[in-house]
Structure 1
């Protein structure tokens, strides 16, 4: 009976999307952003920027791939930003995060970031990156929850924004080693690139986008005494998105489809799984305050290196748990509201229906982001 009801809900959601006029390839997460974007008009100014994020996420998961747990707490990142002209910014501060119920901070990390505008379309960031949720990757490649579990990424990042090409390419250096260390070097390389095709006609509101996304992880290091073999693995996703920009109550709506692959390059993959593939397609619709997404995921021997556990074929939380084929129906409903300038509220419901197991897992959460900036002084450094 439960399986039959879920199928009816799925059919209703699909019909609803089409009758409300058939965008991102995932839910719109922009209301969760808090990285201070580069402002060229701030030349020679010293600014105090405060990024405050308050969050609650309750995961009601009963599967073998992802823990059911609740994350509730806050993050605070005060930083001083100095604009040396209109092409360079130095940002220095500290990030602290505390989960409710703890008497100590779960994260205390210095934040130092050099942001250089090489040109009007190319930015380079070294140090603390524009990371996690800002990368805007699909969930089978990159878990949204990393905004809380790895809130500060450090390394190197290139941002490219041209009329038809947008790209985010970065290296997150997760663990540094010295000669003789008995633990491995860890780093993640990521890319999210989109190429916008020409409109079908000059007056068309349709847009066709070709996305290419990748995650590569490396564990090893030539100077480490870590006994395990070097491991390098790759997730690659490519597909097509069609977007229609509307003038009615829906801001935009569209469809997306991705082919996804997994490959381990060293023949030491988890549970002996070295190659896998998946597909992920669905429908999206966005109004000024409400976001909807529904999708279908099929994976065979798929390992999501930095992705959400719900999409895995191999469990990383339980030993010897392996499901070669995964089939999921996903549903996301988001509500976003800007309370005041620099104060944003968001709510997100996520549903994952496992078709073979006839099981529904879900998560619900909310977030308040407060990102004020205060002018301190203006002074040229030369």
Structure 2
């Protein structure tokens, strides 16, 4: 078994040396703004219908199914080439539930200049951050409320930057709960950036803090951080070939608990996350991943990667995790900016010598309808 594990690691490292953050392509899930600044006033609808069945049989996370839809209905006003405002509502309904799971207002101010974007209100969160999955659970866009706060984005030729704050729980004087804040930084620095090949060094940081001074809660203060750094490469092949793109990445991931009060069974940990993917022109994307985590925890991170049982697991259970994933994703464009997405994810647990899997279907529909155009 040790020889097999060594060969797996060597395989990924060789791929990374010769051949981005290699993950399954989530672009079909990302919301869109107006098609152009000609849309002075517009109606926007973004919805995801989801069916995800997780056939898991371990103590970290047991099987469960997500079935329903998320919906954002918004009106937008384009002040000028740089400034945009949107307002509306966010709705989540799980099938089999008589009531909406979530009903929230939607509010967004977006200011762009050159290669920079400053967003206030509903930030470009969830999958748009492009965190690796040990740090950020893919299902957050289904199960969590939209992220609210402030965000700075820069998309450049030589580096991309995402700095964000998500204010999750507001408190007022004598509240019985503490305030909760999450935030992070994602930096992708390109060493080589050519048309057919790129080599970059990604850095990803995440922090969760529970605290405050004006409440009367006796809950402990919490400050937990995750940091990941690695190497990623991307080869773009000929559009005429069967394979469109080859990507690989290797990450070293850390966890640190600086809360001062020991609430978890461990205060620090680490993991190795290796990926290699191929994307075809007609047959979707295949992604092979390897994870080896020791005493690892990440707030809102991928459930399968945790060393501590999640809300779906056996309470208090601890286990270092070593997993191999083979993911498949296919996006069929069924209308402009709208997709039918199919996913399959078999995985093998090297520690427990068990095979598990999940499969999913998503409808991602996006509409921006102009109500008044600029003259």
Q: TM-score, normalised to structure 2's length?
A: 0.91
Do the aligned residues in 1 keep the contact of 2:151 with 2:164 (CA within 8 Å)? yes
Do the aligned residues in 1 keep the contact of 2:34 with 2:42 (CA within 8 Å)? no
Q: What's 1:358 paired with?
A: 353
**Cα drift, residue 280 of structure 1:** 0.6
**Cα drift, residue 67 of structure 1:** 3.5
Q: In the alignment, does 2:32 pair up with 1:41?
A: no
User: How far apart are the structure 2 equivalents of 1:287 and 1:270?
Assistant: 46
| Secondary structure, counterpart of 1:172 in structure 2 | strand
Q: In the alignment, does 2:353 pair up with 1:348?
A: no
Q: In the alignment, does 2:306 pair up with 1:319?
A: no
**Structure 1, residues 215-244: CA drift from partner, whole Å, max 9, x if none?**
100011111111022110001000001111
Correspondence 1:220-299 to 2 at 5 A: 220-247=211-238, 248-289=241-282, 290-299=284-293
**Structure 1, residues 46-105: CA drift from partner, whole Å, max 9, x if none?**
001111211110011111112311111112211100011111111000011111111111
**Structure 1, residues 277-333: CA drift from partner, whole Å, max 9, x if none?**
11111211112351111111111111122211111111133332112x221111111
Which of 302, 306, 309 matches 2:296?
302
Q: What's 2:67 paired with?
A: 72
Choose between structure 1 and 2: higher strand proportion.
2
**Structure 1, residues 102-128: CA drift from partner, whole Å, max 9, x if none?**
1111111100111111x2111011101
Which of 205, 228, 232 matches 2:196?
205
Gaps of 5+ in 1: none
| Secondary structure, counterpart of 1:148 in structure 2 | helix
**Cα drift, residue 37 of structure 1:** 3.4
User: How far apart are the structure 2 equivalents of 1:361 and 1:268?
Assistant: 36
For these two proteins, the number of residue pairs brought into alignment is: 361
**Cα drift, residue 138 of structure 1:** 0.7
Deviates more, 1:137-146 or 1:364-373: 364-373
Which of 91, 100, 104 matches 1:109?
104
Which of 76, 84, 87 matches 1:81?
76
User: How far apart are the structure 2 equivalents of 1:147 and 1:31?
Assistant: 13
Do the aligned residues in 1 keep the contact of 2:35 with 2:368 (CA within 8 Å)? no
Which of 331, 334, 337 matches 1:339?
334
RMSD: 2.3
User: How far apart are the structure 2 equivalents of 1:273 and 1:349?
Assistant: 33
